[in-house]
Amino acid sequence: MSDRPDPRPGCPPPGSGQRSTTTRPAITRRDFINGVTTAAACATVSCSIFPAFGATDPDSVPPPRRTGLRGSHPGAFEAAHALRDGTLRPTGGHDDGELYDLVVVGGGLSGLAAAHFFHRYAGSGKSVLILENHDDFGGHAKRNEFVVDGRLLALNGGTLEIESPARYNEWAKRILDEIGVDISAYLRENRREAGLHERLGMDRAFFFDRESWASDALVPRHVPPGTSWYGFGPDFVANAPLGEKARADLARLLASRQPDYLAGASVAEKKKRLATMAYDRYLLDCAKVDPSVAWIFSKAGAGVFCVGADAMPALFAWAMGYPGFSGLGLGELPEGLLSDLPGGQHGRQAESGESVHFPDGNATLARLLVASLVPGATRARTQDEMGTATFDYARLDLAGNPTRIRLSTLALNVAHDGPPDQAETVSILCAPAGNPHPDTITRIRARQVVLACWNMVIPYLVPTMPAHQKDALAYGVKGPIVYANVAIRNWRAFHELRVAEVDCPTLYFEQVQLAEAASLGGLKAPSDPAMPNVVRMIKTFGAPGLPTKRDQHRAGRAMLLATSFDTFEREIRGQLQHILGPGGFDADRDIAAITVNRWPHGYAYTYNSLYDPPEWVFTASESRPCVTGRQPFGRIAIANADSAASPHTDAAFEAAHRAVAELLDRQVFPFVPPSPGPATF
């Protein structure tokens, strides 16, 4: 599906990121575009070819400690797919008289924050119900726990970090302060852990596999201090297993002084060209590097955009610090220019400040929010206590709680009880998320509703919304991604090989990372290579060659849903053995447990100047679909990361505040129109 030259005939293009030791089933274009309804059935298979590592019994352990397929796990989406496919028609429903001041659909960070802000503004005595389709709270901010040889380990199963907190908006900063996040204290407490891997001589490296390049080679990157995160040290070229021309091209590309590959054009013309040219085409057609050099950067930006260099504008690559632009005379990027656009929809190419990663990522924020909203669910209150806190899930949905969190429950229909501008209540039909049977549907009512689920499902939930608003909500297609967390009995092989993080874009998982050394209260970072630890493996599901980024996301979702746990486990074992085997790693001996966090609807769609109007990408235009889609509709407001076209936590918090403010403003000023006017895009 790609026209990218292949210097090794017979090998699939490494840019596809699909190098595998297994044979993958054929997936048709129709399956790609329609979302593979039939393939979704495969996703429920959690058994394992290695019996010790199959999915844990969901009733025997708390959600964070469950292994196998997690993220969008079996039992979380079947009713949603039945609703989408028209095989479940939500009508009637048993009504037990539940009425809440606010119902929030979605228990992720935005939904939890909406409940927080509602209590702050409307009063703590108000009643709030949060509906969440997964068996755990937090949405993408999930926590994975392992106990290996008596040691508690935790790692994020989704949302990674508080990125550039100095750039957080007012409302995001406020919520962090109100739930007790103390970044300064956390950084002070982790001074000893910070830089642990570097002190042990462990570096970031790039893995060249023999199927794609001349030979297997694990080459340290040795990025000099102050250099872009995406850079390479001076000895990288000499050690890379490349041909003579490729080696010379890579050295030229990494040089501080390069030719002007767009000579003759003005700076404005250059930037316009770069905004509408993919980074891989820039490398091949303008810098004219050997194709194997372009392979090195084939997954550029994938961790942010869920697509590779074939679908990332070269202008973004310049802003993010990828090589190849030093000779163009583009000037300096003003600090925060792309970072600070409303919604952060660019994935913060130009970061500023120190990002903060708790051991379990932003699951710590979700746990602090739940501890505040439902105090009876845990004895823990402080940031440090969240490291080892346990939650009583049976207490999340007790009558009498000001906030109730109802897990494994999917909203199927949200409708005003009368005309949107006159109705006093809204009815919500819901059912168990994994059981699409009509007999399981119940009806609850709310005086107001915040939809903190993802945008694409809202037109199915609220079919009475104006057509142009539903079209806007359906525009952004979320990016699929997998975080596979692998508990290992020790990390001696990493230490022996002197690596802590490996980029491997031509293998099945494009990144392999030893968990960052971080402690939180009683949850202590493994400081000795003989201790158990967790390895994170990241895979994005791009499909180079399809017409748009949205098509790639749909295709990737199809591939992800068609992939069984057996396949993931086989690839995990094989890839870790391939990379770490020379350091003494033995997959059969050293792997203790595997959790695959599957996110078919992962990162919020971010606008892209290869496919979207440039004013959507580079301005705060009101014509953006996310703006049209997020307008309040009667007593219904929308809060989620999609509404900001941003996958970042601060955008989710800001959206929560906006949605709550819109609902309360509507109460105070009832003459405000209940729905947005038409818009075209």
Q: What is the pLDDT of residues 396-423, one digit of tens each?
A: 999 999 999 999 999 999 999 999 989 9
3-state DSSP assignment of residue 680 = coil
Band of pLDDT at residue 21, cut at 50, 70 and 90: very low
DSSP class per residue in 108-177 = BHHHHHHHHHHHHHH-TTS-EEEE-SSSSSBTT--EEEEEETTEEEEEESS---B-SGGG--HHHHHHHH
pLDDT tens track for 86-125: 998 888 889 989 999 999 999 999 999 999 999 999 988 8
Contact between 532 and 489 (Cβ < 8 Å): yes
Q: How high is the pLDDT of residue 353?
A: 58
Pairing outcome for strands 533-540 and 511-514: antiparallel
Q: How high is the pLDDT of residue 338?
A: 60
Q: Which helix (H) or strand (E) holds 636?
A: strand 636-638
Tokens describing residue 176: 């962090």
CA atoms within 13 A on the CB side of 607: 27
Q: Which of 23-37, 448-462, 635-649 has the lowest mean pLDDT?
A: 23-37
Rounded to an integer, the average pLDDT of 554-559 is 96
Q: How high is the pLDDT of residue 479?
A: 96
Residue with tokens 């403003």: 665
Pairing outcome for strands 511-514 and 499-503: antiparallel
Q: Which of 10-14, 155-159, 187-191 has the lowest mean pLDDT?
A: 10-14
pLDDT of 514 over the 70 cut = yes
pTM of this prediction?
0.91
Q: How high is the pLDDT of residue 16?
A: 47
DSSP class per residue in 559-579 = HHHT--HHHHHHHHHHHHHHH
pLDDT tens track for 68-78: 999 999 999 99
Structure-model confidence comparison of residues 138 and 674, the more confident one:
138
pLDDT of 10 over the 90 cut = no
In this structure, what DSSP letter does residue 224 have? P
Rounded to an integer, the average pLDDT of 251-272 is 95
Band of pLDDT at residue 48, cut at 50, 70 and 90: very low
Question: What's the rounded Cα separation, in Å, for the pair 395 and 372?
Answer: 13
Rounded to an integer, the average pLDDT of 292-313 is 95
Rounded to an integer, the average pLDDT of 484-490 is 98
Band of pLDDT at residue 20, cut at 50, 70 and 90: low
Sequence-ordered list of residues with C-beta below 8 angstroms from that of 428, at least 6 positions apart, any chain: 103, 105, 131, 411, 413, 414, 443, 444, 445, 446, 449
Tokens describing residue 510: 């494009």
> Directed axis angle between helix 363-373 and helix 109-122, to 10°?
30
3-state secondary structure 299-343: CCCHHHHCCCHHHCEHHHHHHHCCCCCCCCCCCCCCCCCCCCCHH
Mean pLDDT of the chain: 88
CA atoms within 13 A on the CB side of 629: 29
Q: How high is the pLDDT of residue 500?
A: 97
Tokens describing residue 418: 């009368």
Question: What's the rounded Cα separation, in Å, for the pair 431 and 439?
Answer: 9
Strand residue runs (E) in 78-150: 94-100, 102-105, 128-131, 143-148
pLDDT of 44 over the 80 cut = no
Q: Phi first, then psi: give them for residue 612, nearest 5 degrees.
A: -110, 155
pLDDT tens track for 353-393: 578 999 999 999 999 999 999 999 999 999 999 999 999 99
Question: What's the rounded Cα separation, in Å, for the pair 633 and 610?
Answer: 32
Q: How high is the pLDDT of residue 167?
A: 80
Sequence-ordered list of residues with C-beta below 8 angstroms from that of 86, at least 6 positions apart, any chain: none
> Directed axis angle between helix 363-373 and helix 170-179, to 10°?
70
Sequence-ordered list of residues with C-beta below 8 angstroms from that of 195, at least 6 positions apart, any chain: none
Question: What's the rounded Cα separation, in Å, for the pair 603 and 480?
Answer: 7
123: left (phi over 0), alpha (psi -120 to 50) or beta: left
Q: How high is the pLDDT of residue 12?
A: 40
Contact between 160 and 365 (Cβ < 8 Å): no
Percentage of the chain beyond pLDDT 70 is 86
Band of pLDDT at residue 60, cut at 50, 70 and 90: confident
* DSSP alpha helix (H) spans, 43-87: 78-85
Q: Phi first, then psi: give them for residue 354, nearest 5 degrees.
A: -95, 120
Q: How high is the pLDDT of residue 498?
A: 97
Band of pLDDT at residue 139, cut at 50, 70 and 90: very high
pLDDT of 27 over the 50 cut = no
The closest of 665, 654, 662, 641 to 452, measured between CA atoms, is: 641
Q: Which domains does the chain have, with CATH numbers?
A: 79-136+366-380+392-476+610-668 (3.50.50.60), 203-338 (no CATH)
Question: What's the rounded Cα separation, in Å, for the pair 254 and 681?
Answer: 40
Q: How high is the pLDDT of residue 57?
A: 61
Q: How high is the pLDDT of residue 339?
A: 55
Rounded to an integer, the average pLDDT of 28-32 is 33
Rounded to an integer, the average pLDDT of 45-53 is 43
